[in-house]
Structure 1
Amino acid sequence: MYKLFYYPLNASMAPHFVLEELNADFELVLVDRKTNAHKAKNYLALNPAGRIPTLVDDESVLFESAAICIHLAESNPKNKLIPQVGEPERALFLQWIMYLTNTLQAELMVHFYPQNHTNNVDAIANITATQESRITAMLGLLDTELADKKFLVGEQLTVCDFYLFMLAIWADEFKQPPLAFKHLGLYLRRLAKRDAIIKVCKKEGLSLADYV
């Protein structure tokens, strides 16, 4: 049985999607960010980075959202949420999961926490605006990539799709949100019909009304 330490609409959302898609036996454990529970001694004993999420299973304790998603997919190969070593889509999968976590997510973190990247209070608004522009360009790249594809890695649903859906939710209040892009918007609306995403959004308090 898996145990996912989570907080609604945080980086735990992608692993939460994957667990539901796998129809896995798992328990959700709320880590209340409002009370800094992710910095508490007992949580740091599991996750010394003091961030969310953390996954505990029978054999390991793991943090970092993308790593958890990959671990879940590889531990449940029959669900085919990750191309296997030697399959032609494997390299493309690795490219996109790295892009999503190391590029798009990293830039989103600067956008949402600009105060962590400057000692000049007057620079915060400029950082936020600049980051939104940078991220919008990245969304444009993804929009182009999805022009003739059902999923990010070809015709097969993978954890990349759940990861991108999570990041798109984070950017939904941009001047040009992900849903405003032609191909990316259609792709997100298709994903929003999946039972796993519907279940997770209900549990985490997110309305999918905009995706209809």
Structure 2
Amino acid sequence: MKLYFAPRTRAVRARWLLEELGVHYELVRLDLARQENSTPEYLAVHPLGEVPALVDGDVTLLESLSICLHLADRFPEKHLAPPVGSAERGPYYRWMVFAEMSLDSVVMEFYWHARAAEEKQASAHSDEALAKHRARLGAVLEVIHVGLDGREFLVGGAFTAADVVMASILHLANTLRLLDGHPRLVEYVKRHSQRPAVRKAVSG
């Protein structure tokens, strides 16, 4: 397997899961500042020039969520996804997609606003738009807060790929100070961020 990777991107999620699985893979680092993701060679892998991309034999996967879903099922003996047909499989799908579609989308609104402020550029977000995003974020975080009530993991009683995806997004939210007032979510992020596989995934 070959993972096309750049630090501080969604590729970290895929690398984190690969490290959790403990399987052999080739890491291809792309320097986005040097536009190594825009070469003809890489565009043949990912037509949009985005990361991550995973080549697994004859299969090429784009998007971090699809990669994580694929990898967790590819190695069922590692138990990073509930078995198909089990009672936990539905909640597992729910949290994987909820993290990517509901949480990530709103967190990224704040990320780009913060980037614009750092670079002293005009933000596309008015105060009214940011207030709407903050209300949406509050509702999304409450869903996760309730889901983690009395639980260390999102699904069943064990760590799964759903925790990889959720914790990686919540980590960015915490960095942006969006989890202030949500100690349960902060604790969840800190606990999973201490896993050895995370340290390898962010090592560059």
Q: What's the TM-score bracket when you normalise by the shorter of the two chains?
A: 0.7 to 0.9
User: Helix, strand or coil for the counterpart of 1:9?
Assistant: coil
The counterpart of 1:146, out of the listed 145, 148, 157, is: 148
Residues 112 and 187 from structure 1, CA distance in 2 versus in 1: closer, same or farther, beyond 3 angstroms? closer
Which residue of structure 2 aligns with residue 58 of structure 1?
Answer: 57
What root-mean-square deviation, in Å, do the aligned CA atoms of Structure 1 and Structure 2 show? 2.1
Superposed, 1:150-161 pairs within 5 Å as 150-161=152-163
Matched, 1:95 2:97: no
Cα distance, 1:128 vs. partner? 4.8
For structure 2, list consecutive stretches of 5 or more residues without a partner in the other structure: 114-121
**Given the two structures, how large is their TM-score scaled by the length of structure 2?**
0.85
Cα distance, 1:197 vs. partner? 1.5
Deviation track 1:173-207 (CA, whole Å, cap 9, x = no partner) reads 334437x5222222222212322123223x13xxx
Q: Which moved more, 1:87-96 or 1:99-108?
A: 99-108
User: Helix, strand or coil for the counterpart of 2:155?
Assistant: coil
User: Helix, strand or coil for the counterpart of 2:174?
Assistant: coil
Count residues in correspondence. 195
> Percent identity over the alignment?
29
Q: Distance in 1 between matches of 2:124 and 2:72?
A: 41
**Given the two structures, how large is their TM-score scaled by the length of structure 1?**
0.82
Matched, 1:184 2:196: no
Which residue of structure 2 aligns with residue 70 of structure 1?
Answer: 69
Deviation track 1:115-138 (CA, whole Å, cap 9, x = no partner) reads xxxxxx564353456434432432
Deviation track 1:66-112 (CA, whole Å, cap 9, x = no partner) reads 10001111110001111121100000011111101111112233333
Q: Which moved more, 1:150-159 or 1:100-109?
A: 100-109
**Contact 2:171/2:189 (8 A) holds in 1:** no
The counterpart of 2:166, out of the listed 164, 171, 188, is: 164
Q: Which moved more, 1:103-112 or 1:38-47?
A: 103-112
Q: Distance in 2 between matches of 1:85 and 1:57?
A: 21
For structure 1, list consecutive stretches of 5 or more residues without a partner in the other structure: 115-120, 205-212
Superposed, 1:73-88 pairs within 5 Å as 73-88=72-87
Residues 19 and 123 from structure 1, CA distance in 2 versus in 1: closer, same or farther, beyond 3 angstroms? closer
Residue type of the alignment partner of 1:198? R
